[in-house]
Amino acid sequence: MVISPLMALQFTGDAPDIAEFAGLIFTSENAVNALARASGRISMPCHCVGQRAASAAASLGARVETTGTDLAALETLLLAAKPAGPLLYLHGQHVTGHLADRLCSAGIATVCHIAYSQQERQLTVDALALLQGTAPLLVPLFSRRSAQLFQAAVMPHGAPLWVAALSPAVADAFTLPVARRAIAASPDAVGMLDALAMLLAGGQVA
């Protein structure tokens, strides 16, 4: 196994006064960790994407009121519940979708704050060597940005690519031909492991 991260996490080190808000939105565990570094414990309602973010928020004392399996699911739940605002949406420099705009349009005041960035990193020498080989490479892609960065990094390449994408949106972001492709049935670690197992077993999920 070769580990070659495509991005390096960097926290901004600042955060708004959360006391001004009625609740928080976290779409990743990284956002929770970023706020924890700046503010410590969180004793207020939170709305999260994924169990990892929800568990991280709960461990800091937050009251997790809403958990969606992905961004679209969280949006649907929030629009139905109409929680009291204003809400503070903490996220990375690169985001997918327009959650805050949609919530504001529905009358749920939401303020965005960039809590961390994900700096691009080059593939390692070992990873580049494998790409020029002939053996199939099993590649997990967890976000649209990671898919785009990997696509730029692997042109050209000789090795057949077996790509596991965390979601259909992630799969769509990688447009190069692949020998095998699997899309996780759920956008989490379990779903990704199942997708990788599917690739190893020789199956394909579109």
Residue among 153, 147, 148, 143 nearest 91 (CA): 143
In sequence order, which ranges of 40-188 are alpha helices (DSSP H)?
A: 51-59, 71-81, 99-105, 125-131, 144-153, 168-173
Amino acid in the structure at residue 133: G
Please calculate the CA angle 118-6-135 and round it to the nearest 5 degrees: 165
Give the list of residues 6+ apart from residue 202 with CB closer than 8 angstroms, or none: 180
- Classify domain 7-118 by CATH number: 3.40.50.10090
102-150 confidence digits (pLDDT tens)? 999 999 999 999 888 888 888 889 988 899 889 999 999 988 889 999 9
- Rounded-to-integer distance, Cα 102 and Cα 104, Å: 5
- Rounded-to-integer distance, Cα 63 and Cα 54, Å: 9
pLDDT of residue 19: 87
Predicted confidence (pLDDT) at residue 206 exceeds the cutoff of 50:
no
Helix, coil or strand: residue 3: coil
Question: What is the rounded average pLDDT of the residues 47-63?
Answer: 91
Question: What is the rounded average pLDDT of the residues 41-49?
Answer: 89
> Rounded to two decimals, what is the model's pTM?
0.75
Residues of the chain with CATH 3.40.50.10090: 7-118
Residue with tokens 């996780």: 184
Model confidence band, residue 63 (pLDDT cutoffs 50, 70, 90)? very high
Q: Which residue has the higher pLDDT, 14 or 88?
A: 88
Contact 2, 126 (CB under 8 A): yes
Question: What single-letter DSSP state applies at residue 60?
Answer: T
